Amino acid sequence: MSKPYSYLIGLALLAFSASSTASAKAPSSDTPAMAATLDSSAETAPPEKDTTTLPPSHKDGEKRKPHSVALTFGPVEAIFGVAQVSVEGRLTRKFGLAGIVGGGSFGAPVSGGDRFPVFIAGISPRYYLVGDFDHGMQLGTQVSTIAAWKPSESTIVAVGAGSYIGYKYTDPTGFTLELQGGVGYASAFQSGSTTISSVVPLANINLGWAF
């Protein structure tokens, strides 16, 4: 290796050694205020917070997940011996469609008189004027068919349609209460007799669960 290159390499090593030694020395005596400030900052600095990640919790006011289906039954019909069930599906936030089916033996709950086998089927679309599928005011219609008969006698079939206004409440656990009231028109048919038609009240009380 030529002498000029050896001389340059030696200077570079000497400069590196000098800079390393200077950085390893304690702070000079002409900066005592700065050293004191650093020491006091280290003593008074608050401890670091625990950064452990916790699972998200359900806070009050958290937006609830909307239900998709409401399954309810009619307690008033059950008093007279008819089990009636309604299944409402959520079409949109404001629209629902319910199917109604029921059956049993209809009769006075106390008198013990004659009882009639009964079958019920219907459909009920509704719009939530205020609120939504889970909780709000309903405007709806109901179309239903009722068949009743006595053994060895003719069958009576009634067809009715009406409109109603209602209110539906669903609590956070899924319990559902539904009240509906309105007016409709029904016609009853019986073989061997004339058809009877009249304006009839429409009233429903439903209790159940939403999923």
pLDDT mean over 176-201: 91
pLDDT confidence tier of residue 66, bands split at 50, 70 and 90: confident
User: Over pLDDT 90: what percentage of the chain?
Assistant: 54
Do residues 178 and 167 lie in contact, with contact meaning Cβ atoms separated by under 8 Å?
A: yes
Considering the entire predicted model, what is its pTM?
Answer: 0.67
pLDDT of 53 > 90? The answer is no
In the chain, what are the domains?
Answer: 69-210 (2.40.160)
61 contacts: CB under 8 Å, gap ≥ 6: none
Strand partners, 165: 139, 181
The answer to whether 187 and 195 are in contact (CB under 8 A) is yes
For 11-154, where are the E strands, in sequence order? 69-73, 82-90, 95-106, 116-131, 136-149
Q: How many CA atoms lie within 13 A of 82 on its CB side?
A: 23
Over residues 124-151, the pLDDT tens digits come to 999 999 999 999 999 999 999 999 987 7
Nearest CA among 67, 69, 71 for reference residue 85: 71
Distance set, CA 171 to CA 70, 81, 166 (Å): 12, 29, 17
Winning range, highest mean pLDDT, from 3-17, 19-33, 62-76, 128-142: 128-142
What counts of helices (H) and strands (E) characterise the chain? 3, 8
CA distance 204 to 122: 13
Taking residue 180's Cβ as centre, other Cβ atoms within 10 Å add up to 20
pLDDT at 48: 55
pLDDT band at 110 (very low <50, low <70, confident <90, very high): low
Local confidence band at 23 (pLDDT 50, 70, 90 cut-offs): very low
Torsion of CA 102, 108, 109, 111, to 10 degrees: -160
- C-alpha to C-alpha distances, 32 to 14, 28, 126, 137, 199, nearest whole angstrom: 29, 8, 82, 77, 101
Q: What is the distance between the alpha carbons of residues 118 and 166, in angstroms, rounded to a whole number?
A: 26
